[in-house]
Amino acid sequence: MEFGDLANKAKEFAGEHGDKVEQGLDKAGEFAKEKFGHEEQIDKGLDKAKDFLGGQGEQGGQGGEQR
């Protein structure tokens, strides 16, 4: 399976289960922040991941702070 196929499957899954994907990303981000710090960099990575998956989050792919 090529990367493009994998990316398309991820987008398809996110479209069908966007709420679950966002919850998973948020949980992973909180864990990373507690473990490593670097909150700003982790938040930027989360925003990029959400944008890549079609902006399924509350922000609609707009990025920015959630706090």
Q: Which two tokens stand for residue 29?
A: 């981000």
In a domain, 67, yes or no: no
Binned at pLDDT 50, 70 and 90, residue 27 comes out as very high
Binned at pLDDT 50, 70 and 90, residue 62 comes out as very low
Range of the domain at 30: 3-52
* Domain total of the chain: 1
Full DSSP string of 7-67:
HHHHHHHHHHSHHHHHHHHHHHHHHHHHHH--HHHHHHHHHHHHHHTTS-STTTT------
Q: What percent of the chain has pLDDT over 70?
A: 79
| Contact between residue 42 and residue 32 where contact means Cβ atoms under 8 Å apart | yes
- The mean of the pLDDT values for the chain is 80
The pLDDT of 8-32, averaged and rounded, is 89
Q: Which two tokens stand for residue 48?
A: 């990029």
Q: Which helix (H) or strand (E) holds 56?
A: none
In a domain, 62, yes or no: no
